[in-house]
Amino acid sequence: QVQLQQSGPGLVRPSETLSLTCSVSGGSISSSYWSWIRQPAGKGLEWIGRIFASGTTSYNPSLKSRLMMSVDTSKNHFSLKLTSVTAADTAVYYCARVGAAAGNGMDVWGQGTTVTVSS
Amino acid sequence: SYELTQPPSVSVSPGQTASITCSGDKLGDRYVCWYQQKPGQSPVLIIYQDNKRASGIPERFSGSNSGNTATLTISGTQVMDESDYYCQAWDSSTVVFGGGTKLTVL
């Protein structure tokens, strides 16, 4: 069964770029959409964006200007870059698989990465 | 932008039925998913396409969606069901989450 393993730094300096990677095992990255979601401490879930294996993306409008997602099919992983971070970007970041059919939810989630933006 | 509204908290006694609502403009015209999240854990998909249970989810969980409201129903609620629950829908090609509901079983 598909599993997602997240990697990336837990501390990012203000104004720098947050970079996370999600490695897919047990299945091909080419057959699904892939999303990033974040959750500030004690708060709700916020969708960041999604990407398909072809590279087609859809981003949260509130983050779009600072956001870039990419897929590396040869490594079976996908990545998130968020530029010019501030303390407001401090959160637990999750990657997730999204079913391709309309209405399918995010059925496989990564373990979460706590990212703190601080100098 | 599209918004989904959930009650911050719902309480239920063990064995009773819990209903968690999610409201949005013409929500019935969109698919809704529901997620369960326990403290310190990643969310788990429990309902997709309004009323389909995800793999491994007990039959006591069910969903419906009509008009402006989607509802997650937990029949015979168990203590283990005490969690945060989030609804989710689509706004064009983007995803929207509700603010979450804390279900207390006592």
**B63-95: pLDDT as tens digits:** 999 999 999 999 999 999 999 999 999 988 899
Rounded CA-CA distance A112/A91 in Å is 10
Q: Is the pLDDT of residue B24 over 90?
A: yes
B63: number of Cβ within 10 Å: 22
**DSSP β-ladder status, A57-59 and A67-72:** unpaired
Decide if A105 and B45 are in contact by the 8 Å CB cutoff: yes
Confidence of residue B16 (pLDDT cuts 50, 70, 90): very high
The whole-number pLDDT of residue A68 equals: 97
Q: Is the pLDDT of residue A100 over 80?
A: no
Residues of chain B neighbouring A45 (CB-CB closer than 8 A) = 35, 37, 43, 86, 88, 97, 100
Distance from CA of A6 to the nearest CA of B (A): 12
- Pick B65 or A104 by higher pLDDT: B65
Residues of chain A neighbouring B95 (CB-CB closer than 8 A) = 35, 47, 50
Confidence of residue B17 (pLDDT cuts 50, 70, 90): very high
Which residue of B1, B50, B54 is in closest CB contact with A107? B54
Rounded CA-CA distance A49/B52 in Å is 24
Residues of chain A neighbouring B93 (CB-CB closer than 8 A) = 58
Confidence of residue A103 (pLDDT cuts 50, 70, 90): confident
The vertex-B33 CA angle with B31 and B36, nearest 5°, equals 170
Q: Is the pLDDT of residue B14 over 90?
A: yes
Share of chain B above pLDDT 70, in %: 100
CB A78 within 8 A of CB A36: no
Q: Is the pLDDT of residue A87 over 90?
A: yes
CB B1 within 8 A of CB B91: yes
Residues in contact with B104: Cβ distance below 8 Å, sequence separation at least 6, in sequence order: B9, B10, B11, B12, B82
Decide if B86 and A103 are in contact by the 8 Å CB cutoff: no
The whole-number pLDDT of residue A31 equals: 81
Confidence of residue A85 (pLDDT cuts 50, 70, 90): very high
